[in-house]
Structure 1
Amino acid sequence: MPPESLSPYTSPGSKLPVISLFSGAGGLDLAVDRVADAPLSSPSVPSVGPFRVAVATDYAPQALQTLALNFPETVTVAGDIRDISTPELLRAGSLAVGDAAIVVGGPPCTPFSKSGFWLAEKRESRDPNASLLEEYVRIIAQARPEAFVLENVQALTYKTHQGHFQQLLAALSELGYNPQWKTLLAADYGVPQLRKRVFIVGRRDGKAFQFPEPTHGGPSETTRTWDRTKLSHVTAEQAFTGLVTSPESGELVEGKYGELTAEIPGGQNYLWHTSRYGGRDEFKWRSRYWTFLLRLAPDKPSSTLQAQPGPYVGPFHWENLPNEVGDLRARRLRVPELLRLMTFPDNFQIVGSRADIQRQLGNAVPLALGQAVLRALALQLGYIDAETDSDDRLVQSTSSAVLIS
């Protein structure tokens, strides 16, 4: 249990240190920083919470620049995690073994992502980057944090990758952390996105972590019935409420499929232009990926944002705009809209081009999802007062589902 002086929240100078691995744009770092915020809120200035990210690491210079803009007090270590020793990481954060309250991180998901299954090495789980899971375990074993949170794509749990997955759980169990895992749907925690991710959480004291109950409910690809006493899933239109955006260079969908995309209604994809629907008979049934020419449905959460979409991979906005010659064209989502779909604060800054920004956000953990998991962990570890948490949940249950910026 934490010292009495640290409950419910520590003072800024005595916050508990957190180590962030594979930090990327900082989705889990944001969740650490904002664990004390009331659910469904994303204020410009976060509430004072019990944790601070003492040190973060990533191999991508752009990601570290993004982190530096948003977390200026966090020390960053650049480089491949396989070349960074645990003592080096601890020294950078001014930490000793056992000091860290939590280690957070999502090893790059490309070895396990369905989007890479066209490569034989992905399908057969032979990607050398899968060893990054072992690096995560190495740092847990050597840094001995009080707890850890590991996030990855749902496909890590699939039969194809069972060897990697079971080895990971066994290694964490041998360290005494009693890892618990669960696949969570982001929309069930207030994220306007139908994004599934697996979370693995363990505690050094061996007590089993209890995952947070969903706060929202609604239909999804695999859900037809849900608890209607919960808040409804946040829709894309609700997420964009009050958002003022400006046109961005290259946002219109032109080229070979530009005209076809503009004719597709919101919520539909290339299947609109098959013999079974109301568009042109241009494609064979189920001949493309679901996200091909996909338009966002205003009355539903978004599909998963892609980190590296091709020019005709959605979701695209449901509205059409005229191009230079007056022809209507669909448009890509603007950066402020991407931030809303990830429940990141409106004032979050990301380094790079439009493609760089989408890559960083597409690889990130949505803030509200990471916040739900870390909030539950902080509560169970005693770093958030249970009475305070109950008060926040009461606020949540009576509030609008529209995100506050």
Structure 2
Amino acid sequence: MEKMTFIDLFAGAGGLSEGFVKVGFEPIAHVEMDAHACKTLETRNYYYALKKANKLQVYYDYLLGNISHEDLSENVLNKLNNVINASIGDNNTNIFNRIDELCQGREVDLIIGGPPCQAYSVVGRHRINKLEQDDPRNLLYRQYARFLKRYNPKVFVFENVLGILSAEEGRYFNNIKVYFRTLGYELDSRVLNTSDYGVLQNRKRVIIIGWKKGSGFSYPELVAESNPYTVADILEDLAHLNPGDLNPVTKYAKDTNEYLKKYAIRSDVDFVTQHVARSHNDRDLEIYRIAIDKWLSNKERLKYADLPERLKTHKNQTSFTDRFKVVDIDNYSHTVLAHIAKDGHYYIYPSREQVRSLSVREAARIQSFPDSYYFEGGRSAAFKQIGNAVPPLMALRIAEEIKGSL
């Protein structure tokens, strides 16, 4: 039997796609405007192709730095480049033409994706006071809808931030629902917290699922799972790390644990990549030590106004007072955002012995990416991709239920 197929729009690094691939859906195309994320998607495609061909050692040689990305590509037989590096906008002709080629006569069963969410985010609205009426990001759902009209999938999944519910007093969200219904779809939405699906992070997202009218489909029952694990389960097997260490490959420091095995986070080899953290200046390190001590001693968050004057660099001491935040090792992490690419102040490692911000691999694990997932483009690009991603474990649960219903 042919696999059910999907198109991934606004694909990012592929977190949403990863869940659907894991349960057997076949990606016809990933459409993404960021070049680094596109290379990440290509690398992930090579991983799956080499795994299918029982040639994973080639992939691991790439991670170890023994071969180039070009060498990696040359080891993949019958590869079909389904990653489209393009911006979805008013003229999607070239994207449509390329997807038509990739379809090879097959129907599209599913379209998934989440348009960039800055226009709907609470922080974004605070910064500009109100949504600009002419901001094109507010209408990206209409671009998403163009793909629904052209490929007529059985089901679609549309992911976004909570702010989409309240933007312009709910008008935008209502417009989205009305517009999708005019295309012949019924739909429903839920606010899902990733921590209910194995992700060790409190991250709430709006998930709209739509289906063709009269198909008998309905919004799947996504039952929350017991999740007794904590961030400690993510951190304990990774090597001690100093800020600014430049080791692209490190050995695991301990044996695996129940969480890492249950959710297939850890690789089946003895090394891990991208366990690298940014360097910090002396002032920031001193602030980190204060924040870590307050949190580990009393579960108390550092407030910027309480810092010694010599450590303050901002005049504004009333907004974003928790700009320095330690990750809770005894619980789930707070939400990982793309801002982690700019600085690590909001993601301080929870240990007096390792005074630094999170490494790329630690952030990826908090987002539930497996250790075999490699993010291209360097450290800052990797952080950005991770922060923008849909956690694969939540995507997996959505994909399982949709597959069962279809």
Note whether the superposition's TM-score is higher than 0.5.
yes
- The answer to whether the aligner puts 1:107 opposite 2:115 as a matched pair is yes
Q: Which residue in the other structure is 1:135 paired with?
A: 143
SS at match of 2:174: helix
- Report what 1:151 is aligned to: 159
Q: Is the 8 A contact 1:111 1:125 kept in 2?
A: no
Work out whether 1:262 is the aligned partner of 2:289: yes
Change in CA separation of 1:356 and 1:285 when aligned onto 2, cut-off 3 Å: closer
| 1:237 match | 232
Cα 1:68–1:248 change in 2 (3 A) is farther
Instruction: Give the total of aligned pairs.
Output: 329
2:202–2:332: 8 Å Cα contact kept in structure 1?
yes
- Does structure 1 conserve the Cα–Cα contact (< 8 Å) formed by 2:9 and 2:31? yes
The equivalent of 1:224 in structure 2 is none
Q: 1:16 to 1:268 in 2, by over 3 A?
A: same
* Aligned residues of 2:108 and 2:152 also touching (Cα < 8 A): yes
Identity, in percent, stands at 24
8 Å contact kept, 1:212–1:373:
no
| TM-fit CA distance, 1:272 | 7.8
From 309, 314, 324, the equivalent of 1:293 is 324
Give the superposed CA RMSD.
Answer: 2.7
**1:7-48, Cα deviation, whole Å (9 max, x unpaired):** xxxxxxx2222111111100011011112xxxxxxxxxxxxx
Give the partner amino acid of 2:369: F
The aligned residue for residue 84 of structure 2 is 77
Secondary structure class of the residue paired with 2:397:
helix
**DSSP-derived class of the 1:117 partner:** helix
CA distance in 1, matches of 2:224, 2:205: 16
Structure 1 unaligned regions, length at least 5 = 1-5, 7-13, 36-48, 217-229, 323-329, 382-405
Q: Determine whether 1:368 maps to 2:372.
A: no
- Contact 1:23-1:57 within 8 A present in 2 as well: yes
Contact 1:56–1:74, Cα closer than 8 Å, also in 2: no
CA distance in 2, matches of 1:187, 1:120: 31
Structure with greater helix share of residues: 2
Structure 2: which amino acid aligns with 1:292?
A: R
Match of 1:65 in 2: 39
What TM-score do the two structures reach when normalised by structure 2?
A: 0.74
Number of the residue aligned with 2:189: 181
TM-score norm. by structure 1 comes to 0.74
Instruction: Decide whether aligned partners of structure 1 residues 118 and 70 sit closer, same or farther in structure 2, where only a CA change above 3 A counts.
Output: same
Aligned-residue offset at 1:102: 0.6
Partner SS for 1:119: helix
Q: Report 1:382-397 matches (<5 A).
A: none
Q: 1:213 and 1:15, CA in 2 relative to 1: closer, same or farther beyond 3 A?
A: closer
Aligned-partner Cα distance in 1 for 2:83–2:172:
29
Deviations 1:85-123 (A, max 9, x none): 363243242255x81111011111111112322432754
Tell me how far 1:181 sits from its aligned partner. Answer: 0.6
> Does 2:195 align with 1:197?
no
Within-5 A mapping of 1:3-402? 6=1, 14-35=2-23, 49=24, 51-72=25-46, 73=80, 75-82=82-89, 83-85=91-93, 87-96=96-105, 99-120=107-128, 123-124=131-132, 126-160=134-168, 162-206=170-214, 207-216=216-225, 230-232=226-228, 234-244=229-239, 246-247=241-242, 249=244, 251-254=278-281, 256-264=283-291, 265-266=295-296, 268-271=300-303, 274=306, 287-289=318-320, 291-309=322-340, 310-311=342-343, 313-321=345-353, 330-381=355-406
**CA distance in 2: counterparts of 1:100 and 1:117, whole angstroms:** 36
